Amino acid sequence: MTIVAAFLFPGLPHPMLKPEIAPWGRLAGAARSAAASLDAYAPDTLVMYSTQWIAVLDQLWQTRPHVSGVHIDENWYEWGDLPFDIRIDSGLAKACIAGSETIGVRSRPVDYDGFPIDTGTIVAQHFLNQTQGRPLVVTSNNLYHDWALTEQLGGLVRDVALKENKKVAVVGVGGLSARMFRAPIDPAEDRFADPADDEANRTILDLLVEGDAEGLRAAAGRIGAALPVDSGLKHLAFITGALGGHIGGAHIHGYEPVYGTGAAVVEIRG
């Protein structure tokens, strides 16, 4: 297969910056477990769709061959810096840009020094790719793209990777429920902000484990209309599209609250 692996990965920085605090440390452990699984697939390139890289006009793709620097998260700046050093698979990214017209999407490259790489991409790179240093393709979350169009975007990656003869692992970077505590809490006592959020998250995770792609699409729309979720769960749409619209089951490496929100590290089979 061209798409050799797919992962759902949480994009908040807590497991990276404060792994000594449970339950964030358990998520860090789950991330390391997922990284070991990813290494076994030996992909050529990782394609990351992060809900935190927001676009409002075109679909954006990072094409600068090497991006590095230090990022400070706009919400969690008091907990430390987020250094990054990332190689980009510019050829594959440009091929995706060229092919995006086939699905009615206008894409543009991003290639300038100092571009602000988002927290989610940095955190996923840190855990999943820091030791291997594989090149990435990083693309944005366009706010005007719905689930169906985002699924087509994932399918585009699949088609382009096949043409380019690349073994690709797809990573949808984002959370599940998005109800965050607005007042300070004791991090050691982190919990889900509402029991309904935990229930909804478990519904999504159960559907992934069962390999029910149709059920996932329906549940994402239903839950997204009733509860706050991360970007309509479109990062899951990107994954299902890359897997050809099907899910062959999943393994949950970890599921925990992060300041009230839902975060899961999931290995998804095609």
Domain containing 70 — which CATH number? 3.40.830.10
How would residue 1 be classed by pLDDT, with cut points 50, 70 and 90? low
Domain that holds residue 219: 3-268
171 token code pair: 């990573």
Q: How far is CA 85 from CA 69, 135, 140, in A?
A: 7, 11, 19
Lowest mean pLDDT among 54-58, 72-76, 82-86, 122-126: 72-76
The answer to whether 71 and 85 are in contact (CB under 8 A) is no
Q: What is the mean pLDDT of residues 245-266?
A: 98
pLDDT tens-digit series, residues 141-156: 999 999 999 999 999 9
Read off the pTM: 0.97
- For residues 68-97, one letter each, b for 16 or more C-beta atoms within 10 angstroms of the residue's C-beta and e for the rest, the string is ebebebeebeeeeebebebbbbbebbbbbb
Q: What is the mean pLDDT of residues 39-53?
A: 97
Which residues, in sequence order, are CB contacts of 184 under 8 Å at separation 6+?
none
> What integer pLDDT is reported at residue 131 of this predicted model?
86
Which residues, in sequence order, are CB contacts of 227 under 8 Å at separation 6+?
177, 179, 194, 196, 197, 200
Query: What is the Cα Rg of the chain in Å?
Result: 17
pLDDT tens-digit series, residues 194-242: 999 999 999 999 999 999 999 999 999 999 999 999 999 999 999 999 9
**What torsion, rounded to 10 degrees, do the Cα atoms 30, 119, 80, 201 define?**
-40
- What's the domain count of the chain? 1
> What integer pLDDT is reported at residue 195 of this predicted model?
97
pLDDT score of 33 more than 90 = yes
> What integer pLDDT is reported at residue 155 of this predicted model?
98
> What integer pLDDT is reported at residue 176 of this predicted model?
98
**What torsion, rounded to 10 degrees, do the Cα atoms 177, 183, 188, 192 define?**
-20
pLDDT score of 255 more than 90 = yes
